[in-house]
Structure 1
Amino acid sequence: MEWIFQWIRGFLKCHLKGGDMERFFNLCRHQGIECWDMSYSEGVCRCCIYLDDFRKIRPFVRKTKVRVKIVERCGLAFFIAFLQRRKGLWLGMAGCVAVLCFLSAHIWKMEFSGNSYYTDERLEKYLSETENIRIGSWKKDAVNPVLEENLRLTFPDISWVSVRKEGTSLIVALEEMVKYDAASGEKSKPRYICAAKDGQIVSMVTRSGVPRVHVGDTVKKGELLIDGVMEILNDAMEVAESVPVGADGDIYAKITENYHQTYPFLQESRNYGRASEKITLSFGKHSLSFGKNPYSGDDRVTHDHLTEIRKFGPGIYIQKDIFRPYTTVPSLVAASRMKTKAETELYDTIRKFEEKGVQILENNVKILMYDDRVEVKGNFVVIEPLGEEMNMLPQVIQNEEIGETHEYNRNDD
């Protein structure tokens, strides 16, 4: 930061040569004159000195016979003097600023989003002919609340509209109401939005329909969230008409997603014990054996049986039988491979959550190692969309409504 103050104050880069330079700098220091960036080579001393201090060193120069040469002028005062000699530069800068301010005060782009029935051309034509807002119009002429109100009154099928200005763009975002199918002459069926899973609602925006739950409520799978039928009441507060408007909205809930995967070890290794041998000598039809199979008839011990035969002539041979007990244990290679597979699939599950825009609040999944398997279990606490569009209410909800009606009728009786 110091160089900024030096530049604002203004300074000179000087070369000093000859005379008594040591006495010169002592006099400057005694008078409070600051010199910095000092260096000396080949009889020349280089230093920097403030502009206002430079005017004070003249008597010291005469006393010490030092020759001072100004090499470079730096600072705000010299920069202003430089600009004063170049009036064209000032005019160009002022012109650029004026043009920039003029252009940024106009609308040069229009963007529309959320429209399907009303085309961009139709909306642009309305803004141009009725509101006198077109490409190149002043931004101050586009008053957001007035435009929003006029669009809703002019286009009755628009249920919600937002107009905002970003830079030189006019952005119009709107929502259209559910329309009837004019070709078939039938009204669109009422739609409902029900809970696809159990969870606690953390955010809810209803664009059309009647919300049946609120933020903070805990809902179960299949529970009605937004009703697509709007009931119109008469003066006696009785239902005069049920109008299908179609349920539309965004509902986000905190949901617990359970995760459980098991990866058994498919490969095993054997730990062999001490081997036993049996040697048999054969001479034609006669044989003589030394040793025996100690594991014959014992189903609790598994063993390998290896046989070696060495012949010495017709009917003469020696047979050697080796019996090796063993126990099977999981292979370290299989355990490592299964653990790597478990970690990879767990990472893929988390990545799929992120790709869907699901926010993970808690990750309570653990990888457990056992003697014969790798087990991954736990749960994720996430925030994700909860609503599921349905053309008919679930049977459970219909039965509940019928039960409530019957109970109400019995009370009347």
Structure 2
Amino acid sequence: MNRAGKWNGTVTVRVSGGSPERFFNLCSFHGISLEEMRREEDGIRFRMAAKDFFAAGRLAKKAGVKLRIKEKRGLPFFLRRSRKHLAFFLGILICLGLLYYSSLFIWDIHMEGNTKYTDSTLLHFLEEKGYVHGMKKSGIVCEEIEKDIRGRYGDITWVSAQISGNRLIIRIKENQIIDAEGTPASDESGTVMDLTASKNGTVVSVITRTGTPKVHPGDSVEKGQVLISGTLEILDEGGNLLSTRGVRADGDIVAATEYLYEDVFSLASPKKYYTGKETKQRYLWLFGHRVFWPGEKNTYACSDETDSYEMVHLWENFYLPLGWGVITVREYREAVEVISAKEAEKKALLRFEAYCDQLSDLGVTITDCSLETFLEADSCRAVGIVNGEEAIGILGGS
């Protein structure tokens, strides 16, 4: 069946009795196309366009033959058979329309990589900036979200915002104690670039790939000092200077460095004692709004909440504006806890180890470290030294 037949409809017809040959000749004379003709025991079958059937019926009377429809195909017949199911097909069209309309909005804001800042804290900040569930995707500028989060939280070192389906996925990296001390400068202008020291230290090894080395193992260097010059010296066989050429210095300078550590924390800290009493508030989540079910209300003087919810989604990154959840409210009483000297020393050591771990994450190979703790009236002070080796070269214009 050709494409026109699918849209306009075709019928399979059986012709019998009279003079079929005369009927076929009349059809050909009047431009009626007959296809897939085959002889059977009860007559001859063929297929024709539905719109030509009534004209063929008048010709059949002239030829003295009988026509009987055996099969109907095509869109007009399908629609006629589906009249009883019109509401079903209308529902499908409405559903497809709602799915398309839903795809224009953000229905899930997902956080990854955050440990210090909870999802609720970051979501509340985004709401202040106008980024909420149910907002149009066309109104979202991912670069602005990244800039706002970095500007608000100084210890978040990296942010990536991405729209996937109708989800806004935000990936972050936190740095709770220290930041990198240098950022390589660009060489977009093609100017001479020196490799300089990012911090004080004692040179352990020098590997030069491009440029002229200005320090050697054992040398003490200060922050900002040139380690590899971007001025390349060209010498003759006798060691005499022939000419110079500006390049982008490149190499690996490893130095022994020292970090002075100091930390002070209170021996007394607030502590929550949960009473075991709790209430649950269940709700439906519809188009960015919560519809709470009738139930208990939070009447506790001191409490905290945890919100867990599920959203309906067709596949991983296509969420619907429909879900449900429950807010669990737990009652607690506030008290002040004072830790012992032994516990204070243990806490100081754990905080110092976390500091060393973050130094290692930044590429520092720790060779030695020491820590002393001093207990005072209501606080603990920890003082330490961390010795390590690390790459200290950063690019800077000459």
TM-score, with structure 2 as normaliser:
0.43
Task: Kindly indicate whether structure 1 or structure 2 has the higher relative contact order, using CA contacts under 8 Å at least 6 residues apart.
Answer: 2
Larger radius of gyration: 1
| Structure in which a larger fraction of residues adopt strand | 2
